[in-house]
Amino acid sequence: MTKYRELEERVALRHDDNCWEWSAHDSQGYASIHFQGRTQRAHVLAYILRYGPVPTGLELDHTCNNRGCWNPDHVEPVTHRVNLRRSPNGNWSKTHCPRGHPYDEANTYRDRRDRRYCRACNRERQRIPMALRGKRLTITIRT
């Protein structure tokens, strides 16, 4: 029995709500299977077997946050942006900048690409060049 046939039978037979762990994983922790001459992610193949092709422009997001899971009911087609925002490891879930300042409404600004920046860190970065030019930056801290 080929790996793909084995996967096809498992997808057809299983309907439980648990994470399905596959024995082989790629370097990023995703369950992988060798199919049609190349290594592919098992959750994508399982999704295609149960629901059909992944819609164009979308990618599969693990709603269980377990990359090793290949249960097609644990993935959802979403945009890349939504997938990044949902990621527990990504920058979207961070509440403070690398220097410890809060990412709150008053201290955060976004650029045209919707990337977050810390206002306090930006002021600190500006202080050095301004001091070298002989200018002073006055900061008022509101409590």
Please state the domain count of the chain.
2
Report DSSP letters for 75-127, one per residue.
EEEE-HHHHHHH-TTSGGG--B-TTS-B-STTTEEE-TT--EEEHHHHHHHHH
The answer to whether residue 137 sits within a structural domain is no
For residue 27, what are the domain limits?
3-90
Q: What is the 3-state secondary structure (H, E, C) of 21-70?
A: ECCCECCCCCEEEEECCEEEEHHHHHHHHHHCCCCCCCEEEECCCCCCEC
Instruction: For residue range 29-87, list pLDDT tens digits in order.
Output: 898 888 778 888 999 998 998 899 999 999 999 999 888 898 889 999 999 888 887 87
Q: What is the pTM of this model?
A: 0.60
Instruction: For residue range 59-73, list pLDDT tens digits in order.
Output: 999 999 888 898 889
The answer to whether residue 52 sits within a structural domain is yes
Q: What is the CATH number for 71?
A: 3.90.75
1 against 131, higher pLDDT:
131
